[in-house]
Amino acid sequence: MNRAVFPGSFDPITLGHVSVVNRALPLFDEIIIAIGINSEKRSMFSSLQRKQWVEKVFKDEPKVRVDTFEGLTVDYCKKVHARFILRGLRTSADFEFERGIGQVNRKLAPQIDTIFILTEAEYTPVSSSIVRDVVRHGGDISGLVPDVVKL
């Protein structure tokens, strides 16, 4: 089975994330959206809340599974027998960041490759951190996140 892991914080899931998954679906038999639990990175939303939102978004898509994980992404990929890591690319800053992670991941696990999907132009400015800022200041996040993300 051709399986990919889409790792991230998804704090919260945005329309940019949804677009990356939908566009990658034809490439894979299964995509596992893997919510990283990092005890040193404070999240705005609980892992349970983040997972429930992602599950709701993809409830009618049988090729998408949602999970949480701790530790190295490549170790998680080995555990679930995934040969591919899926990531989105918005800007050149994303590229530099992802290049480092991708190349180190190749060293750690040469059998696993990272596949990048270039973001849709309209979602380039969308990030979970901007969404969190808008939330903090009481702004309207519709248009940035899927409808299921209700505060």
Strand positions, DSSP E, the chain = 3-8, 30-36, 64-69, 84-89, 113-118
Q: Is 20 in the site for ligand ADP (CB under 6 A)?
A: yes
The count of chain residues that interact with ligand ADP, using the rule CB under 6 A, is 16
Smallest distance, ligand ADP to C-beta of residue 38, A: 8
Q: Is 137 a catalytic residue?
A: no
Q: Is 99 a catalytic residue?
A: no
- Cα 118 from Cα 91, distance rounded (Å): 9
Catalytic, out of 50, 51, 87, 90: 90
Amino acid present at 66 = V
Q: Is 94 in the site for ligand ADP (CB under 6 A)?
A: yes
Task: Locate 12 and state its tokens.
Answer: 């919260």
Q: Considering beta carbons, is residue 51 or 90 the nearer one to ligand ADP?
A: 90
Among 51, 77, 78, smallest CA distance to 66 is for 51
Q: Which stretch binds ligand ADP (CB under 6 A): 9-17, 47-55, 76-84, 107-115?
A: 9-17
Q: Cβ distance 106 to 112 under 8 Å?
A: yes
Q: Is 105 in the site for ligand ADP (CB under 6 A)?
A: no
Catalytic residues: 17, 41, 90, 128
